[in-house]
Amino acid sequence: MHVCDISENKLVADIRDRSAKGTATAYFAGISECPRCGNRLLALVADGKLQAPNHEAERGALERAVEIARARGHADEIASFLGAAGEMYTAWQEYAAAENAYREGIKVLSTQPRSQEVAAALQVNLANLLQDQGRLEDARDTLLHALEFYENSGDVLGKAQVLGNLGAVYQDIRDFTASIDAYIQASRLYKLLDDLQSQAEILSNLALVYADAGQPDRALSTCRQAIAVVDVIGYSPGAVHALINLGTLLREAGQTDAAELAFRGALAAARRGSDTYSEAIARRNLSDTN
C-alpha cells in the first residue's frame, strides 16, 4: 500500500482511526517500502500531525519510516531517519530509545568515510542526551569523537560548537582546567567567524567557570569582555542567563562589586532585548546585592 499518494488529511484520519481501533500495527506493516512513503510518514511525525497523549500513532509511523529506510539499505538515509527518530524519542522523554537510535545511526555510518559529518552531528545529539542524564564521562568521550572529525575536516563552526559543549561537560565534571581551555578555544573560533552572539555566550560561561574555580579576578575580567560583546550585539539570551548565574556565584563568594557588574550587564542586555522576565530577575538580584 502506497501512502505517498494519499492526501494528508485522509492519511492522518486513517492512521488515527486505526490507532483508535488497535489495528495500527497491521496498517503500518502494509505500507510500501518506497522512499516517498517513508519520507511521508517521517514528515507527519516531525510536523506534529499525529500527536496524541500516548504517541502510539506517532511511534508507529516513525518506526515504519525507519524500517523502510533500513530495507532500502542506503547508509546515509538510514542514519538520517535514525537521527530524526532520536530527536523524537528525546522529545517524548523516551531516552533509552533515543540513545539506541543515535548509536545505531553512528554505527551505520562507521564504514562510510564520506558521511562522517552526519555521524559527528549524531554524536553531538547523543552527547547532549547523555549530559542531560548525568552521564558526563560518556558525554565527554562522545564529544571528543565528534571533535576529532571537525578538526580533521576543517569545519570551524562545527569545531567551535563542540568545544562549547565540551566546556559545559567539563564544568559539570568539575574539570575546570579542561573547561576553561575548551571555552577559550571556542571563543577564539567564534570571534574568527564573527559570530558575536555565540562568543558572548561562551565568554559568559567562561567567566562562570573562572568563578566556580575560585579565580574571581579572571571571572571579573572575562565578565567585562562578555558584557562588551553583548553591548555590540544588543542582546543575547544565553549570555544574559549566564551573567545572572555568574553574579549569583560571585555574590555567594563575597565578591559583591564583581557580582554587581554581572547583574548590571545582564539587566542592560535584557532591557535591550525586551526580555522582561530576565530583566526582573537581574533587577531583583541587583537590589539584593546592594
Q: pLDDT tens across 116-152, in order?
A: 888 899 999 999 999 999 999 999 999 999 999 898 8
Confidence of residue 11 (pLDDT cuts 50, 70, 90): confident
Are the C-beta atoms of residues 178 and 152 closer than 8 Å to each other?
A: no
Confidence of residue 220 (pLDDT cuts 50, 70, 90): confident
195-290: CATH number: 1.25.40.10
The mean pLDDT value of the chain amounts to 88
Q: In angstroms, what CA-CA distances link 93 with 49, 100, 240?
A: 19, 13, 28
In three-state secondary structure terms, 120 is helix
> CA 241, CA 93: separation in Å to the nearest integer?
25
Q: How many CB atoms lie within 10 A of CB 219?
A: 26
What's the grid cell of residue 164? Answer: 562549547
Domain range summary for the chain, segments of one domain joined by +: 1-72, 195-290
> CA 3, CA 78: separation in Å to the nearest integer?
20
What's the grid cell of residue 266? Answer: 545582564
Closest CA to 169 of 153, 147, 190: 147
Q: What integer pLDDT is reported at residue 53 of this predicted model?
A: 63
> CA 18, CA 12: separation in Å to the nearest integer?
10
Side chain identity at residue 107, one-letter code:
K
> CA 135, CA 144: separation in Å to the nearest integer?
15
Q: pTM for the full model?
A: 0.79
CA angle at 81 for the pair 75 and 84, rounded to the nearest 5°: 140
